[in-house]
Amino acid sequence: MSTLTAAWAWLTDPAHWTGDDGIRDRLLQHLALTVVCLFLSCLIALPVALVLGHLGRGGALAVNISNVGRAVPTFAVLVLLLLTPVGRWGEGPTVVALVLFAVPPLLTNAYVGMREVDRSVVQAARGMGMTGRQTLFQVEVPLALPLILNGVRIAAVQLVATATIAALAGGGGLGRIITAGFNLASTPQVVAGALLVAVFALLVEGVFEAVERLAPAWARGGR
């Protein structure tokens, strides 16, 4: 119990919040890394998944890439990137690793969402004279939206976790508070950092949960 009290004291000490590498800085870094990399990953993964799903090609790739992403340790990729020339660009390895691990869930969920759209609806759209592009954007994407958004949510949670591990390989973000705590052998700081990370991750999950609740019924789907 005393560790928790000490961790709480560490968290509520105003000196730890301000200044370079204070909690506020680390929080903003973590948020920036998560948001920027989520945007980048969506930009890369969603167009590919939507086109593949629309054409019905490359399904094995889109589905198996998730399994590959799970088998490769995040930490190993971070360190490998750090030792390559990418490692010289500051946050380079972190950004590349974050994007690499956010792409598989986005790709798999969006692809599966597109393929699960009722084929008869797609055929009806074609029968009404819709072009391929119209079918994609006005029929398939809206119907696949619940699964696409589910992929975005999994990717966001994954990004928060990966950004934390990036601290082990010298990246910025809230994980740095934990690794600094380990280096100082300060259990209260380690626990305080871990609490911040956990609350941050749960907040991200909560935001997506709230968006899902507030979204119109058709965007929620059956899930």
Q: How far is the CB of 217 from another protein (least distance, A)?
A: 22
Q: Which of 15, 4, 45 is nearest to 152 (CA)?
A: 45
Residue 72 binding another protein, by CB under 8 A: yes
> In this chain, which of 33, 38, 42, 82 binds another protein, going by CB under 8 A?
82
Please identify, using beta-carbon distances, which residue of 57 and 70 lies nearer to another protein. 70
Between CA 110 and CA 50 the distance in angstroms is 7
Please identify, using beta-carbon distances, which residue of 95 and 201 lies nearer to another protein. 201
Between CA 98 and CA 147 the distance in angstroms is 21
Q: What is the DSSP letter of 89?
A: S
In b/e form, how buried is each residue of 2-24, taking b as 16+ CB within 10 angstroms? eeeebbeebbeeeebeeeeeebe
Of residues 163-192, those binding another protein (CB under 8 A): 164-165, 167-169, 175, 178-179, 181-182, 187, 190-191
> In this chain, which of 25, 75, 92, 220 binds another protein, going by CB under 8 A?
75
Give the helix, strand, coil percentages of the chain, each rounded to 5: 85, 0, 15
Residues at the interface with another protein (CB under 8 A): 3-4, 67, 70-77, 79-80, 82-83, 157, 160-161, 164-165, 167-169, 175, 178-179, 181-182, 187, 190-191, 193-195, 197-198, 201-202, 205
